[in-house]
């Protein structure tokens, strides 16, 4: 049998569901191929994804020191291209940007009204981690948990989601890695649902784009990341009400930073640890309502993070 192999240009950045999810062990290539007899086609995995090309060069890029950052990218979702590209495959710690993948796995495997119950793994006694102070037996719905996860970035709520979706934090991490691999994010490895520091918990800017690009397929995700504040009531083990309110960790949404003129920030996910630096992945729109995903990782500090993100968003004007 004669087999004709047709190579397609791999470009694209849309939000449609993928016809063929990536499988790193698959015998099929990423290219479209066609049998002359059966005329059966396999859609290329990356047909609707942005593919990085030559890296961008700019005089304001700093790799070390107080104004430094490790990587930055800007993706044109509708135009299916990488608008800005700096170190797309550098392996870095994602910190709480991890919670984007946590949300994806939860939304894919669990109903929004499912009641989640905290166990011992959800109780965090450390003073230096973002948390709401869950106790054993505390209860809330997945909908409530996702709001607290993505708006406030609570690490104990990340564990709450994990143990109720998968049975344990470790089993949930396995689900995270399986989902990341299916999206083509094969230069990543996740050990927990929160992004708390672990040497074996890492990703790349491009993998982070693949994960975030999947997340924005969910209307609930876009709704939540666009909220500047949130308040809710959940219950303790005895059924008594517990109140919680917060504002977004995204400084565009809480009013501490302003995007460039004619650019609208929809929302995103921050991440900050000593090892990861300051990180942000988010969705924005230009004056023509075109969507863009921006990513900045390992900025030396928050000011550098938002100043660099603004430099990216200025390209939309």
SS (H, E, C) 20-87: CCCCCCCCCCCCCEEECCCCCECCCCCCCCCCCCCCCCCCCCCCCCCCCCCEEEEEECCCCEEEEEEC
Q: Does the pLDDT value for residue 136 go beyond 90?
A: yes
Alpha-carbon distance 211 to 217, whole Å? 10
pLDDT digits (tens, 9 = 90+) for 221-242: 999 999 999 999 999 999 999 9
Alpha-carbon distance 262 to 75, whole Å? 18
Q: Does the pLDDT value for residue 29 go beyond 50?
A: no
The model's confidence at residue 314, banded by pLDDT at 50, 70 and 90, is very high
β-pair partners for 297: 71
Report CA-CA distances (Å) from 195 to 51, 95, 172.
Answer: 26, 4, 13
User: 28-37, 77-86, 108-117: which range is least confident on average?
Assistant: 28-37
Two tokens at 190?
Answer: 């996740």
Q: Does the pLDDT value for residue 35 go beyond 80?
A: no
CB atoms within 10 A of CB 57: 8
Residue 238: active-site member: no
Q: What angle do CA 110, 113, 117 make, to 5 degrees?
A: 80
pLDDT digits (tens, 9 = 90+) for 281-291: 999 999 999 99
CA nearest neighbour of 206 among 98, 89, 91: 89
From 99, 131, 269, 311, active-site residue = 99
For residue 62, what pLDDT is reported? 77
Residue 284: active-site member: no
Q: What is the pTM of this model?
A: 0.86
Percent of the chain with pLDDT over 90: 77
DSSP SS3 for 178? helix
H helices of the chain, in order, are 98-109, 142-147, 155-166, 169-182, 205-215, 219-225, 302-313
Parallel, antiparallel, or unpaired for β 81-86 and 71-76? antiparallel
CA 187 to chain centre: 14
Q: Does the pLDDT value for residue 246 go beyond 90?
A: yes
Residue 96: active-site member: yes
Provide the residue ranges of all domains of the chain, joining segments of one domain with +: 1-49, 95-247
Q: Does the pLDDT value for residue 57 go beyond 70?
A: no
For residue 24, what pLDDT is reported? 57
pLDDT digits (tens, 9 = 90+) for 157-199: 999 999 999 999 999 999 999 999 999 999 999 999 999 999 9
From 96, 194, 248, 284, active-site residue = 96
Across 109-121, b (16+ Cβ under 10 Å) vs e yields: ebeeeeebebeeb
From 56, 131, 139, 153, active-site residue = 153
For residue 55, what pLDDT is reported? 81
Compute the average pLDDT of residues 14-37.
43
Q: Does the pLDDT value for residue 144 go beyond 70?
A: yes
CATH architecture type of domain 95-247:
3-Layer(aba) Sandwich (3.40)
For residue 59, what pLDDT is reported? 56
Q: What is the mean pLDDT of the chain?
A: 88
């Amino acid at each position: 049998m004669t087999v004709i192999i047709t190579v397609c240009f791999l470009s694209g950045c849309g939000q449609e569901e993928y016809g063929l999810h990536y499988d790193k062990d698959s015998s099929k290539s990423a290219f479209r191929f066609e049998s002359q007899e059966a005329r059966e086609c396999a859609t290329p995995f990356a047909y609707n994804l942005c593919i990085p090309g030559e890296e961008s060069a700019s005089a304001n890029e700093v790799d070390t020191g107080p104004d430094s950052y490790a990587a930055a990218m800007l993706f044109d979702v509708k135009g299916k291209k990488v608008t800005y590209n700096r170190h797309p495959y550098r392996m870095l710690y994602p910190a709480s940007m991890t919670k984007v993948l946590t949300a994806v796995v939860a939304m894919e495997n669990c109903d929004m009204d499912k009641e989640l119950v905290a166990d011992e793994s959800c109780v965090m006694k450390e003073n230096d981690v973002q948390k709401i102070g869950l106790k054993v037996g505390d209860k809330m719905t997945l909908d409530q948990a996702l709001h607290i996860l993505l708006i406030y970035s609570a690490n104990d709520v990340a564990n709450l989601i994990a143990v109720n979706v998968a049975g344990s934090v470790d089993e949930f991490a396995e689900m995270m890695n399986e989902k990341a691999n299916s999206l083509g994010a094969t230069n990543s490895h996740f050990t927990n649902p929160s992004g708390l520091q672990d040497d074996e918990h890492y990703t790349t800017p491009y993998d982070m784009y693949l994960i975030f690009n999947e997340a924005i397929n969910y209307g609930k995700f876009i709704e939540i990341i666009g909220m500047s504040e949130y308040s809710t009531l959940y219950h303790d083990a005895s059924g008594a009400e517990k109140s919680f309110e917060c504002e977004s960790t995204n400084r565009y949404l809480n009013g501490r930073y302003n995007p460039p003129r004619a650019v609208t920030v929809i929302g995103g996910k921050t991440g900050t640890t000593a090892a990861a630096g300051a990180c942000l992945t988010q969705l924005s729109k230009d004056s023509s309502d075109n969507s863009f995903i921006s990513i900045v990782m390992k900025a030396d500090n928050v000011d550098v993070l938002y100043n660099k993100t603004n430099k990216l968003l200025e390209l939309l004007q």
